[in-house]
Amino acid sequence: MAFSVSSSPAAVHSSSLSSSFEQPRGPLAAAQFGAFQPLDRSHLSSTAVNFSRRRCAVRPLNAAEPKRNDSIVPSAATLFAPEVVEKVEVEDYEKLAEELENASPLEIMDKALEKFGNDIAIAFSGAEDVALIEYAHLTGRPFRVFSLDTGRLNPETYKLFDDVEKRYGIRIEYMFPDAAEVQALVRSKGLFSFYEDGHQECCRVRKVRPLRRALKGLRAWITGQRKDQSPGTRSEIPIVQVDPVFEGLDGGIGSLVKWNPVANVKGNDVWNFLRAMNVPVNALHAKGYVSIGCEPCTRPVLPGQHEREGRWWWEDAKAKECGLHKGNIKEENLNGNGNGSVHANGTVAHSDLFNTQSVVNLSRPGIENLLKLENRKEAWLVVLYAPWCQFCQAMEGSYVELAEKLAGSGVKVAKFRADGEEKAYAQQELQLGSFPTIVLFTKHSSRPIKYPSEKRDVDSLMAFVNALQ
């Protein structure tokens, strides 16, 4: 896989590039909207603590860490090797976001690339996100770009991808949905089920899960979110934050940082910048398209309409999110008005999680039967979840993958919805503390064993299961 770097003369396109390498800097071009000046790095905050991380050879977005065979390590080495304790300094990203609140997008981009090097990448959707690539190019630093190819994009979007690669001398790292998941969805519900039951399920298969795989190879990512894109869902986007939904390379909550360099920029100002820099843009913009996604779910907007009205136009205005940035939705929208239809009693209907034949859906009687059995024929791994919980949503891909790996192994993988009326029962009988809680019913124990870690990647969950079998 080729890696995306800036197209300056010092740009490097080699997988052996050391992440400690730094390019020579040339004069920078535009720094701010409307007034283009070279970036003055003296304005950047000097109080920010460098994020502690391992720096090694360039790795692709979804690269797996090499697995060590512990059986070949001499036991003496494990007995007498001195213990080395690494001091890890934790960055205060809320403080950093405040310090960068009035910084230009170019300054923010430079700070992000400086801190994370090859462990950060730009998420490019084929719309105004080209501004992010231009800013990255102007910093003079190497950078990476990835994009989600859902298989249902407009031809004009694919043409823009090609134009951007040629303009900047880069290779976009594409992520694709799992073919088996797409096949199962289309065979069971047809090609256009989202018009009838909402777009969340299709987006989860075609966008959210591929994004989750991409982010597992990174420690930070850069998005084109803006506060004015969707006042109902994005009005409180910070410049930089610990990602509240997705996991990064090290796994677990807090392992991924999210940068939003244009969070405070108005849409008109973004377009003024794109015109001034004469960068390639999606040809659909000239046809009335503003916010561009998949072809069946995107249409032009009329004068005076908000840009997001062209996305999923058949749904409520506050449900116009695909799930990629669900962690930035305001709390009141999560709990009452957004991302789901509202029932007459005021509750919100959310798309269910872990919908696959590999995961058994347990009812209350089913979970009660598991508790009664002392000698089970098979072990059971059960996640206690709530569909609205962002952390449950974040682990969906890992849990489904685990279920597929454990199929036929003698371990059943199941889910039990433990919110609402079932919450008190789950707290009393199933050790529910917070969502998600994962418990293992072994073959010979009457009580479930609670998974103690917040690392919910496949390898960690598999190690938990194998250790108790």
392 catalytic, yes or no? yes
Q: Tokens at residue 261, please?
A: 């360099």
Sign of the C-alpha dihedral, residues 358, 363, 366, 372? positive
For 324-358, the DSSP string reads TTGGGS-HHIIIIISSSEEPTTS-EE---S--STT
User: Any idea what DSSP says for residue 81?
Assistant: S
Using CA atoms, how far apart are residues 221 and 118, in angstroms rounded to an integer?
A: 11
Q: Residues 12, 142: contact at Cβ < 8 Å?
A: yes
Using CA atoms, how far apart are residues 265 and 73, in angstroms rounded to an integer?
A: 54
- The closest of 234, 259, 391, 414 to 318, measured between CA atoms, is 234
Can you list the alpha helix ranges (DSSP code H) found in 60-99?
A: 75-80, 93-99
Using a 10 angstrom Cβ sphere, with 0-12 exposed, 13-18 middle and 19 or more buried, the burial of residue 430 is buried
Q: Residues 468, 440: contact at Cβ < 8 Å?
A: yes
Phi and psi dihedrals of 255, rounded to 5?
Answer: -90, 5
389 catalytic, yes or no? yes
Phi-psi label, residue 151: left if phi above 0, alpha if psi -120 to 50, beta otherwise: left
Q: Residues 321, 207: contact at Cβ < 8 Å?
A: no
| Torsion angle of C-alpha atoms 205, 208, 209, 213, degrees rounded to 10 | 150
For the chain, count helices (H), then strands (E): 16, 13
Using CA atoms, how far apart are residues 401 and 256, in angstroms rounded to an integer?
A: 21
Residue with tokens 């809320």: 94
Cα angle 291, 297, 303 (rounded to 5 degrees) comes to: 45
Helix (H, G, I), strand (E, B) or coil at 421: helix
Using a 10 angstrom Cβ sphere, with 0-12 exposed, 13-18 middle and 19 or more buried, the burial of residue 29 is middle
Determine the angle formed by the axes of helices 130-139 and 267-277, rounding to 10 degrees: 60
Q: Tokens at residue 36, please?
A: 């283009």
Residue with tokens 């790996």: 405
Q: Tokens at residue 353, please?
A: 């999680």
Catalytic annotation, residues: 389, 392
